[in-house]
Amino acid sequence: MKMLVKTLFGLEEVCAKEIKALGGEQIMLLNRAVKFEGDTALLYKANLKLRTALRVLVPIANFKAHNEHELYEQVKNIDWSEYLSIHKTFAVDGVTSGETFTHSHYVALKTKDAIADQFSEQLGKRPCVEVKSPDVRINVHIFEKECTISLDSSGDQLGLRGYRTEKVFAPLSEVLAAGIILLSGWDKKTELFDGMCGSGTFAIEAALIATNTPPGLNRKFGFQNWLNFNEMLWEQVLKEAVEQKEPTSTTISAQDISKRAMKIARANAERAGVAKWIDFKQEDFMVARRRTQKAHVILNPPYGERLQLRQELNFYRDIGSTLKHNFPGCNAWILSSNMEALKLIGLKPLKKIPLYNGKLECKLQGYELFPGKRKEHVRGKRPRIS
């Protein structure tokens, strides 16, 4: 079975590693997506376990269409009785690029009409369209004249884990938070420290990773409404995933200056079932101290409209100073869309990774923190010549 996982820009490689670990084959990286092959069990596992996936699509048809009439006829030629019945609701999502088809909503509408008309002509009845929570979600993707029709096995976006019912302003998505943790190379043993935790997403995703808890454990998936859904196989996949969960002795620290943010973060962690693994503390990062000798610091500081320009620049200088003086011997990773402010951190980044936080173009920058001056640190690392 061919499958395609949609992910965020910059997370394609870590998503591919996750797929490989689950047993995926013929893996190919695309822009914001990863293609692979596997069986039905892998399809279920991908939805349940992938931390950096947005959706898992299963292509069922591929064809060329030069106009809307050809699109309609080609979609209508698919035997939709294999995937849908008049007792199931459905919805169509359209994605287009190129000069031939320029309106994704219209493409989705023509696809919906073709499916409904096939049922009407053959059975005299048609399945109902349900935009918000359909039983079967269908995806039509058109690049120039190349059309791919897929079944969306995920249903709701996989980033909606179900634990974050309360949020602070401009929260980080669960998928991006998990992706950043994986990109940063956290070893699941060193203390993970988030000094500006907001809704607690970094800490919660870290706890899910450390305890090997599937991110999709407390939600439903689109494939559970499919006509060929194998409930016995799903129960087996789910049982094995639950049995693979494990406790952790790793310190995961989450703090924020806001009392409201800490209340929300704790509540979200409770809903995720990982609150007991996270050390919450209301405190200003600028006076923060790690809980252990070494820490893996991850920060998503305010940026853009959340801070006035002058305030933002001073704020980033203070972040750099705090990291330098309070976290020597640690690693730190900072996500921001303000490239000028990042320069004021005053530390030389070892790594710069372009990402997007929503529509904001960002950089994830990694730093190695050490006492004293950088020149002395680099000199001390050089091998002696005898």
pLDDT at 145 over 60: yes
What is the architecture, at CATH level 2, of domain 174-213+244-377? 3-Layer(aba) Sandwich (3.40)
Mean pLDDT computed over 360-383? 71
pLDDT at 178 over 60: yes
pLDDT at 125 over 50: yes
- pLDDT score recorded for residue 304: 56
pLDDT at 309 over 80: no
* Token representation of residue 50: 């992938």
d(CA 303, CA 301): 6
* Token representation of residue 73: 């006829």
Backbone angles phi, psi at 129, to 5 degrees: -90, 130
pLDDT at 110 over 70: yes
Mean pLDDT computed over 298-311? 70
- For residue 198, which of 269, 256, 284, 267 has the smallest C-alpha distance? 256
d(CA 262, CA 196): 10
Backbone angles phi, psi at 274, to 5 degrees: -125, 10
- pLDDT score recorded for residue 380: 47
Looking at per-residue pLDDT, the higher value among 2 and 170 belongs to: 2
Task: Tell which CATH classification among 3.40.640.10, 3.30.2130.30, 1.10.10.10, 3.40.50.2000 matches the domain 2-152.
Answer: 3.30.2130.30
**Is residue 62 helix, strand or coil?**
strand
Domain boundaries, the chain: 2-152, 174-213+244-377
- Decide: 3 and 58 in contact? Cβ < 8 Å: yes
Mean pLDDT computed over 62-84? 96
Burial (CB count <10 Å: 0-12, 13-18, 19+), residue 273: middle
pTM (2 d.p.): 0.92
- pLDDT score recorded for residue 115: 97
